[in-house]
Structure 1
């Protein structure tokens, strides 16, 4: 569709002057109901040129261009590049071979126009839509990229599926990136059952955490977490501006122990080093959520992450075997391969 659209656009540009000089036809009454929808259908499905649509609708070609752009902005139209093709490019193949990945999608660099989390989230939504089947138990962590993925996930009916929160709740001092919000968003898109983890992600002390973990309700929820056959998560850095600190999950002061011991990244609140070794500390003793051992036990482990500052964090996660499917961008892929 995209190639045909470009060919039509070229034809439209070459004939724009002639089209604008022709007297417009009377506008058919039916187009008054929703011209954006009609113009989109004629252009993408009937493969009419913009000039032909302008004649048919009795408007200028410039108006048709505006209709088509508004239709894109309002999500009347979805242009999709087949995600499996991004799995076949050389960078993706090198990453798959180097780390034993089952899948890898590498999207091209856009010059820094949009944040990596937004672009990778869009690509991740296409990938997730491709691999999900009704009956899946999908575990979901949290993060900017995960939320972007959720927002771009196509709506579909998966009534026999569950979307499971795999880390407890964080404070709501920041918007949109909490685990429960990501889980609820994805569950609504899939018309699937949403299962939340009804506990804080971090307790004030280990004794309180241990007591809460003995509660039957929490044990049932962890049994569901361990039944996940697919897991979706983002990757955080240990830099001061990392979401792991903005969320209130851990303070910068408490993180100094992990950083001093070589921490480079965080998955679902768990710190690890450049070789992927799980670094355990006081935070782990008072935390309620999936562990890195649990992560490795899930058959399909999808990481949606990118950006030059996340090179070490993603590399450590790959070396630790926490990822089976990676969705990232070109600069990050090149940086990772440059470290081998």
Structure 2
């Protein structure tokens, strides 16, 4: 890489941090290890070089290399790495959200009718928020997870509805809670014709977008009241580190079944599937869960942040 290319790379990193992550110029300077004056010049030069317009168009080649290495290591059909550098999880999530939105937008831009299976979670929520408004009423969004929260209200993680609104397309939801009150209730929910028709749509989705959740004390499923502290402890004792749509798996990506499976109403998932499933996740707290999802081939594509990508490549 010549001197000019290195300058563009550094300017692109500064632009991502300043315009996307919302860092101040002083914080950009600290993250890049330069003075505030240099950081200011980098942000200005990014605009002058045409890297920044409405969006940041310059890919960071180091991240492209990371993505290529991850794709080869785990046999992925798609991999994107957001140029988050060594930022903390919160600003890194904002950069990941923009990168994830760009990936989603490429599929949404297709003129032919598409069906998108959509999961839930904070990361997916940030990505959908970052999506541009695209007029694609021919597309459909299908929920992969129950739309009813613990208190019988609509879940605040209803990402498929938000995404459908962004596209002006149709939205199909799972008319059930994530976990039923009893095995008998699960049978009742899942035998309903509406549940079965929506689940069939989800299984036949053109592509599926899912988050990857960690499993431990204070994880989202725990704090939202879906699994108790004792259930978390039992799952961890059995080697569980991650979950997708309430399906638990261990360090090696092997499915671990338990009492919650008798209550789970989300659309079934399978590892080693031929279905195109892209996982969106990053951050240190999710390292183990993401690696497990990759090892078990629960996903065929991954969009993550730079620090996570480096960790995945450095571990077996």
TM-score (norm: length of structure 1)? 0.71
Supply the distance in 2 between the matched residues of 1:168 and 1:198 (Cα, whole angstroms).
6
Structure 2 residue corresponding to 1:260, chosen from 227, 237, 247:
237
Which of 87, 108, 115 is equivalent to 2:83?
108
* Contact map agreement 2:84 2:96 (CA 8 A) in 1: no
Give the Cα–Cα distance (whole angstroms) in 1 for the partners of residues 64 and 178 of structure 2.
39
Equivalent in 110, 120, 134 of residue 142 of structure 1: 120
Residue in 2 that maps onto 1:98: 73
**Secondary structure at 1:317 match in 2:** helix
Structure that is richer in strand per residue: 2
Distance 1:302 1:203, change over 3 A: same
Partner of 1:275: 252
Whose radius of gyration is greater, 1 or 2?
A: 1
Instruction: Check the 8 A contact 1:268/1:289 in 2, yes or no.
Output: yes
**What is the aligned partner in structure 1 of residue 300 from structure 2?**
324
Gaps of 5+ in 1: 7-64, 69-76
Q: How far apart, in 2, do the equivalents of 1:105 and 1:229 lie?
A: 19
> Residues 148 and 155 of structure 2 are in contact (CA less than 8 Å); yes or no, is this contact kept in structure 1?
no
Task: Please give the alpha-carbon distance, in whole angstroms, between the structure 2 residues aligned to 1:177 and 1:112.
Answer: 30
* 1:310 aligned to which of 286, 292, 313: 286
Q: Does 1:235 align with 2:212?
A: yes
- Of structures 1 and 2, the one with the larger relative CO (CA 8 A, separation 6+) is 2
Cα distance, 1:264 vs. partner? 0.8
Hey, what does 2:193 align to over in structure 1? 216
Q: 2:223 aligns with which of 246, 249, 274?
A: 246
Secondary structure at 2:278's aligned position in 1? strand
> 1:131: Cα distance to partner?
2.5
Q: What is the deviation of 1:82?
A: 5.8
1:127 matched to 2:112? The reply is no
In the alignment, the residues of structure 1 paired with residue 265 and residue 61 of structure 2 have an alpha-carbon distance, to the nearest angstrom, of 36
Unaligned 5+ residue runs, structure 2? 1-7, 12-43, 48-52
- For residues 148 and 171 of structure 1, do their structure 2 counterparts lie closer, same or farther at Cα, with a shift above 3 Å needed? same
Residue deviations 1:138-179 (CA, integer Å, cap 9, x gap): 011111110010011111122121101101135378x99744
Secondary structure in structure 2 of the residue aligned to 1:167? strand
Mapped contact 2:71–2:79 kept (Cα < 8 A): yes
Distance 1:197 1:117 in 2: 28
1:300 aligns with 2:300: no
Task: Give the direction of change, closer, same or farther, for the CA distance of 1:262–1:170 in structure 2 (3 Å limit).
Answer: farther
Q: Against the structure 1 CA distance between its residues 282 and 253, is the aligned structure 2 distance closer, same or farther, given a 3 Å change threshold?
A: same
Q: Structure 1 residue runs of 4+, over 6 Å off?
A: 85-88
